[in-house]
Amino acid sequence: MSNYFKILRPGINSTFQDLGRFGLQHLGIVPSGCMDRSLFYLANQLVGNEVFEGVLEFAYQGPLLELESESAEIAIAGKVNFNVIDKNGKIKQGVCNQNFCIYKGEKIDIISTVKSVYGYLSISGGFKLDKVKESISTLVRAKIGSNDGEKLKLGEKIFYNQIKSANSKKKIEFNFDENNTIRVMEGLQFSYFSKESQKNFFLKEYEITKLTDRMGMRLEGEKLQNVISSNIKSEGITKGSIQVPGDGQPIILLSDHPTIGGYPKIANVITADYDKLVQKAPGTKINFKLVDISIAESAFEEYLKRLNNNLNAIRL
């Protein structure tokens, strides 16, 4: 007997993701993977999965799903406004960041993420997904990964592995970091920008525009003056790189970035601040703070410590 949900509404950008696909960037294949790694881990921990199990990632508006099989234990991680609708159409507001069971004929309506961008739906036992090059992560642009490399589509089914017994109640108090300062290190072409622009980049605020997706985040603010060249010899790209094309407006490259590119990079977001950055919604004004490698590395230690504390808090 197969266990599945029916997709009654796919949502804006709902894809299956895990940690991503590595070792293939020299062939043009970007790692992809979940945007908010710590939230991804928490989502799995809440339903008793291994933390790297594939989950359903959604942005802004998520899917409307109906359970067609007997039962499922799920969790919705993030700041998410969602409802559980029973067989008679009775609507109950859902609570995120805790596990709960749903039963045949019930619907999960993920209405929106609140003051954030990404949320995760995890299921105890995991979704039934095909791995492509050791990862289920979906890269829509190149049609790679589970669900034939596509976003969720209306009328499709989502299959999952049935668990043997339900987990005990698990929950976590969870808050996103509301601070809008993003720490960065100098980019490879930092010296391409005028002294004034080098200063302005850290002094002024940059607004996240609507032209933001899993590939990149376009910002708007003080124009950055390139005094050398707005084209470089194309070189490999790393997640979190901040490139500045000829128009002087920065673009932060995110998890589905192109693998190589020819725009100069003024800075790189440190790993510890990446999850926080991707959850900032369009319209948010962010500012950048320059740090060196040792600060970035100790910030990452703190990030891991906080993540492990959260994971342990769920386990207890």
Partner 1 sequence: MLKKISNIGDCGIACDFGDEISKDTNKEVIKFFSFVQDSTKAKKIKGILNCTPSYNKLIINFDLEKIKSSELIQFIQKSDYSKITLPEKNKLIEIPICYDEEFALDIKTLEQKTKLNFKEITKEHLKTDFFVYMIGFVPGHPFMGDLNKKLYLNRLETPRVRVPKGSVGIVEKFCNIYTFDSPGGWNIIGKTPLELFNINKKNPSILSPGDSVQFKSITKKELLSFKNE
Nearer to partner 1, 82 or 274 (CB): 274
Task: Return the sign of the alpha-carbon dihedral for residues 85, 90, 96, 102.
Answer: negative
Minimum distance from CB of 162 to partner 1 (Å)?
Answer: 28
Minimum distance from CB of 256 to partner 1 (Å)?
Answer: 11
Nearest to 101 by CA among 8, 41, 168, 173: 168
Residue 234 makes contact with partner 1 by CB under 8 A = yes
Residue 251 makes contact with partner 1 by CB under 8 A = no
Task: Locate 138 and state its tokens.
Answer: 């979906």
Q: Are strands 15-17 and 71-77 parallel, antiparallel or unpaired?
A: unpaired
Region near partner 1 per CB under 8 A, out of 7-15, 117-125, 222-230, 263-271: 263-271
Distance CA(113)–CA(146), nearest Å, equals 24
Q: Which of 1, 27, 169, 283 binds partner 1 (CB under 8 A)?
A: 27
Nearest to 220 by CA among 243, 241, 249: 249
Q: Which of 6, 8, 12, 24 binds partner 1 (CB under 8 A)?
A: 24
For partner 1, the binding residues in 46-65 under the rule CB under 8 A are: none
Nearest to 185 by CA among 80, 288, 312, 63: 288
Distance CA(264)–CA(160), nearest Å, equals 44
- Sequence-distant contacts of 134-137: CB under 8 A, at least 24 apart: 134/21, 135/18, 135/19, 135/20, 135/21, 135/22, 135/32, 135/33, 136/16, 136/17, 136/18, 136/54, 137/15, 137/16, 137/17, 137/18, 137/19, 137/20, 137/21, 137/31, 137/32, 137/33, 137/34, 137/54
Region near partner 1 per CB under 8 A, out of 76-84, 99-107, 194-202, 235-243: 235-243
Region near partner 1 per CB under 8 A, out of 9-17, 71-79, 83-91, 143-151: 143-151
Residue 228 makes contact with partner 1 by CB under 8 A = no
Nearer to partner 1, 112 or 241 (CB): 241
Residue 211 makes contact with partner 1 by CB under 8 A = no
For partner 1, the binding residues in 179-198 under the rule CB under 8 A are: 184-185, 187-188
Nearer to partner 1, 103 or 202 (CB): 202
Q: Which of 95, 101, 114, 142 binds partner 1 (CB under 8 A)?
A: 142
Q: What is the DSSP string of 183-218?
A: EEEE-TTGGGB-HHHHHHHHHS-EEEEEEE-SSEEE
Residue 258 makes contact with partner 1 by CB under 8 A = yes
Residue 260 makes contact with partner 1 by CB under 8 A = yes
Nearer to partner 1, 2 or 298 (CB): 298
For partner 1, the binding residues in 103-132 under the rule CB under 8 A are: 132
Task: Give me the residues that bind partner 1 (CB under 8 A), please.
Answer: 22-29, 31, 132-133, 141-144, 149, 184-185, 187-188, 233-238, 240-241, 258-261, 268-271, 293, 296-297, 300, 304
